[in-house]
């Protein structure tokens, strides 16, 4: 049986969310902003960011696949659900739980550029720099994390442990 060890507490996460939301609200004041959450992992982070932003925003979701039930990315990203909100001429902020290899966010940056968004930027809670294969610009970043398999606060292992209020790692 795998054990989960706490890495980032709920309180640390909430403090970071408030800080990121304050910067986002300031940077996008008087702009048409579309928050796009990346399903399923970013749902909890997305909800907390959305509640903490002080400006009007549009919201929508995309769903992509690259991991499946595996503990590592296959390097191929597929769009399973696209946004319904029209993003042409609007500013898109992708909200993602974690950037690992960078394949998914690189794919989404290109996807929204093709849709002629005014700008496309990224807000990520967790940055696993040591695993990066694709250089992806991050406008807003929460925590840099070690090369461990993380769960909790939306992150899963084979669809389990998303409901943990903190971020932990699976120890073997």
Burial call 14-39: b when 16+ CB within 10 Å, e when fewer: eebbeebbeebeeebeeeebbbbbbb
Give the H or E element holding residue 31: none
Q: Which residues pair with 79 in a beta bridge?
A: 64
Which residue in the list 10, 32, 48, 100 is annotated as catalytic? 100
Active-site residue, 100 included: yes
Task: With CA atoms as reference, report the closest residue to 42 among 98, 96, 4.
Answer: 96
In whole angstroms, give the CA distance from residue 22 to residue 30.
14
- Expressed in percent and rounded to 5, the helix, strand and coil fractions of the chain are 25, 35, 40
* Sheet containing 167-171: order of strands: 3-8, 167-171, 150-151
Residues assigned a catalytic role: 100
């Amino acid at each position: 049986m795998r054990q989960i060890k706490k890495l980032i507490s709920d309180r640390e996460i909430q403090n970071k969310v408030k800080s990121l939301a304050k910067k986002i609200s300031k940077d996008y004041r008087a702009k048409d902003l579309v928050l796009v959450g990346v399903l399923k992992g970013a749902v909890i982070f997305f909800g907390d960011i959305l509640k903490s932003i002080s400006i009007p925003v549009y919201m929508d979701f995309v769903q992509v696949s690259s991991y499946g039930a595996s503990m590592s990315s296959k390097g191929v990203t597929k769009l399973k659900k696209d946004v319904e909100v029209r993003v042409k001429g609007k500013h898109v902020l992708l909200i993602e739980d974690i950037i690992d290899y960078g394949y998914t966010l690189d794919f989404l940056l290109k996807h929204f550029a093709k849709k002629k968004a005014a700008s496309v930027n990224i807000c990520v809670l967790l940055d696993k720099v040591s695993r990066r294969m694709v250089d992806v610009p991050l406008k807003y970043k929460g925590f840099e994390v070690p090369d461990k398999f993380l769960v909790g606060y939306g992150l899963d292992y084979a669809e389990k442990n998303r409901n943990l209020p903190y971020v932990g790692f699976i120890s073997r």
